């Protein structure tokens, strides 16, 4: 039951994009088309899930025994960057179709601060491995939901009668703000 609460909490209530403001860059950059937004979401889900497990194991089984936990930030950055390179190479070799569908979004995950944020939050929150795995699934699912909904709204805004000065990024930021208010409204759910 606690894991379910954690999952719902991280997906909706403490949504990584709308409550912590991580991953704003891909939210604004890759939300022009819903299909692209979904592709980004899949890629981020895959990488965050793997990264949260690997970084958790490295922190508790390498950094802590060696007494070098102060290197957690640089360790996680290098691990995530290496993981993205490895995943890209793996997909090139084994699944060209998935590689083709993800395209440029795969290397761009390296710069997605949500990946690093989840890895650091897992440690600071004192999660167990199972909880870290649940967080590694819940956070990117929340990210995917938000970026997809945001992309569908932006698609409609393209044909809406928006005042000239609000067209483009300004109306997108206002939309993101209203979505954040809506998410804040369910803060007492979990």
> Which residues form the interface with other proteins (CB under 8 A)?
25, 28-30, 32, 36, 62-63, 66-68, 71, 74-75, 78-79, 81-82, 85-86, 88-89, 92-93, 96, 99-100, 103-105, 107-108
C-alpha separations of 18 from 6, 35, 43, 178 in Å: 17, 21, 19, 10
Q: Which of 13/87 has CB closer to other proteins?
A: 87
Residue 147 Cβ vs other proteins, minimum distance, rounded to whole Å: 12
Angle of helix 129-159 versus helix 169-184 axis, rounded to 10: 130
Tokens encoding 54: 């690997």
- Contact indicator for 118, 79 with CB cutoff of 8 Å: no
Distance between CA atoms of residues 190 and 170, nearest Å: 32
Residue 58 Cβ vs other proteins, minimum distance, rounded to whole Å: 9
3-class state of residue 15 by DSSP: coil
Q: Which of 21/86 has CB closer to other proteins?
A: 86
Q: Which of 96/170 has CB closer to other proteins?
A: 96
- Contact indicator for 176, 29 with CB cutoff of 8 Å: no
Residue 38 Cβ vs other proteins, minimum distance, rounded to whole Å: 13
Residue 108 Cβ vs other proteins, minimum distance, rounded to whole Å: 7
């Amino acid at each position: 039951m606690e894991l379910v609460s954690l999952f719902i909490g991280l997906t909706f209530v403490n949504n990584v994009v709308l409550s912590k403001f991580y991953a704003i860059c891909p939210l604004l950059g890759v939300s022009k088309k819903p299909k692209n937004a979904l592709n980004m979401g899949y890629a981020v889900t895959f990488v965050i899930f793997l990264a949260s497990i690997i970084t958790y194991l490295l922190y508790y089984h390498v950094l802590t025994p060696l007494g070098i936990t102060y290197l957690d930030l640089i360790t996680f950055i290098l691990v995530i960057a290496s993981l993205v390179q490895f995943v890209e190479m793996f997909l090139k070799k084994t699944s060209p179709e998935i590689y083709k569908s993800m395209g440029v979004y795969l290397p761009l995950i390296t710069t997605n601060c949500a990946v690093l944020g989840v890895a650091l939050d897992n440690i600071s929150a004192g999660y167990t491995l199972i909880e870290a795995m649940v967080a590694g699934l819940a956070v990117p699912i929340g990210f995917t939901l938000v970026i997809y909904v945001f992309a569908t709204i932006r698609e409609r805004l393209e044909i809406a009668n928006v005042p000239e000065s609000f067209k483009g990024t300004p109306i997108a930021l206002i939309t993101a703000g209203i979505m954040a208010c809506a998410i804040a409204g369910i803060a007492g759910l979990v």
